[in-house]
Every structure is written in structure tokens, then in C-alpha cells.
Amino acid sequence: MVANWGVVIVAAGSGTRMGTKESKQYLQLADKPILVHTLELFERMDAVKETVLVVGADDVKRCQEWVSHYGFAKVTAVLAGGKERQHSVHIGLKAITAEWVMVHDGVRPLVSAEAVQRCCETAERSEAAVLAVPVKDTIKQVDEAGVITATPDRRSLWAIQTPQAFRHALLLDAHEQAEAAGFIGTDDAMVVERTGAKVTVAEGEYTNIKITTPDDLPWAEFLLAKRRAELAEGKVDQK
């Protein structure tokens, strides 16, 4: 990574599928809340110069306190998010000053520094990149009656993750176009794809899970313990 990077961490969702009273990004993972693990990853990266954190309006104050408590010196703003993930990203992007920006889900605390680096290097070559892994299952398209209507060729199917990395001006412009058109996508690549710009896939990791449902929590605990053991043995790099 040669450029200076900003990061928008989106954490303004309500975690409906997790079903807990407390939104999932605030649940404890080992010794710290999930969101704190995520913030730590980017705080440690030399190429990252600024982090903008987007959270629910009611959580801004406690997150500002966490930023002080944990000493996240790169966090330049804690902002209230919007109704959809895309709105939260757009709010965060407007507060970024760096030439390059990553968008990352606050609930993906297990991405490795190596994968983030691959994503950023791919973006620096191609303007826009996302982490992704090839799907392992056969994927079917199914209609409302539960009947299979198509089996897409698995060789062309990838499960998309974050971070997603872009030249800041390209992504901000794409978000502004999407807002003007009333378009809502489920990731930032979709917002950029609709402008005609190309988005390149960088090799992700199956362990970069998005904590979404209760089943993901023990899996995340296991992956974190494994990662910590590898770090202690010097098998992986933190930066």
C-alpha cells in the first residue's frame, strides 16, 4: 500500500437477524465489544490515516467515549448513520479527506491485515476493489413457490465481503448518483458498478465472517482465539 487511506466503519444497523436487545456490534467477543475489535484492526495499519465511525444516533456518545477510552487516535469523527447501510456509508464518506477510502462493516472483526492489504493494492491499481471468496456451495435461484428456476455456473459466483476499497472521489460520486436516482444496493460495489466503472475482486478469506445471526458468535470466538494464538507464535503479521 503506497497511498494514504481513510476508512469508513459502518455500525449503525440494528442487528435484526441477531435478535438481541443490544445491537450485535456492541456484543462482547472475548474481552471486548465486536466493534472495538474492528476499530483496533484499522488503528494498527500504517497506511490508514483516518477512520470515520458511523453508528446509531443513540450510540454516538458512548462510541465517542470508547474512542477516548481505547485511545483510537485515528478516529476523526463519530457520526449518526442513516436508515439503510448505503445511507450510513454516504454520511461517512462525506467526512473523509483521504484520496483513497475503504468501507468496512463494523461487524467483520476478523479480517486479516494481509487481506486488507491485498484489497487496497488491487484498488490502487484499478481504482475499485472488493474482497471476495469463491462460493463453495451450489447456488440455486428459487421462485416464490420454492421451485428452482436456475443454477448459475458456480465458477462465476463469489461471496462479497468488506473492506471494499476505492478512490474516494469515485465512490463519493457514485453514492451521490445513487441517491439522486433513489437506488439502494447492498454493498458499495453495486453503487459503483451502476455507474459503469469496473470493480475488481481481490482474494478474501472464508474467516472474514460478517457476524449476522447467533450461530456466528461461537464461530467468531473460535476464529479470534485461533488468530491470537497465531499472532503470539509470530505466524501472522498484525499490520
Ligand X SMILES: C[C@](O)(CO)[C@H](O)COP(=O)(O)O
* Strand, helix or coil for residue 145: coil
Q: Pick the stretch among 68-76, 100-108, 112-120, 135-143 that binds ligand CTP (CB under 6 A).
A: 100-108
Q: Which does 162 bind (CB under 5 to 8 A by kind): ligand CTP, ligand X, none?
A: ligand X
Residue (of 62, 40, 59, 60) closest to 51 by Cα position? 40
Helices 113-126 and 34-43, packing angle to 10 deg: 60
Q: Which stretch binds ligand X (CB under 6 A): 37-45, 159-167, 175-183, 197-205?
A: 159-167
Part of the chain binding ligand CTP (CB under 6 A), chosen from 70-78, 99-107, 124-132, 196-204: 99-107
CB of 135 to ligand CTP, least distance (A): 18
Nearest alpha-carbon partner for 9 in 43, 58, 71, 51: 51
Among 36, 105, 199, 224, binds ligand X (CB under 6 A): 105
CA atoms of 103 and 106, how far apart (whole Å)? 10
Q: Could you tell me which residues are beta bridge partners of residue 50?
A: 6
Decide if 29 contacts 37 (C-beta within 8 A): yes
Cβ–Cβ < 8 Å for 232, 38: no
The one among 58, 73, 83, 144 contacting ligand CTP by CB under 6 A:
83
Among 210, 216, 217, 236, binds ligand X (CB under 6 A): 210
**Which of 17, 154 has the CB closer to ligand CTP?**
17
CB nearer to ligand X: pick between 122 and 161:
161
Please give the backbone phi and psi of residue 79, each rounded to the nearest 5 degrees, phi first: -120, 155
Build a one-symbol-per-residue string for 161-200: x at contacts with ligand X by CB under 6 A, - elsewhere. Answer: xx-----------------------xx-------------
Q: How many residues bind ligand X (CB under 6 A)?
A: 8
Q: Is 61 helix (H, G, I), strand (E, B) or coil?
A: helix
Size of the site for ligand CTP (CB under 6 A): 21
- Count CB neighbours of 95 within 10 A: 16
Binds ligand CTP by CB under 6 A, chosen from 6, 13, 33, 109 = 13
DSSP notation for 15-51 = -TTT--SS-GGGSEETTEEHHHHHHHHHHT-TTEEEE
- Can you give the binding site for ligand X, defined by CB under 6 A? 85, 105, 160-162, 186-187, 210
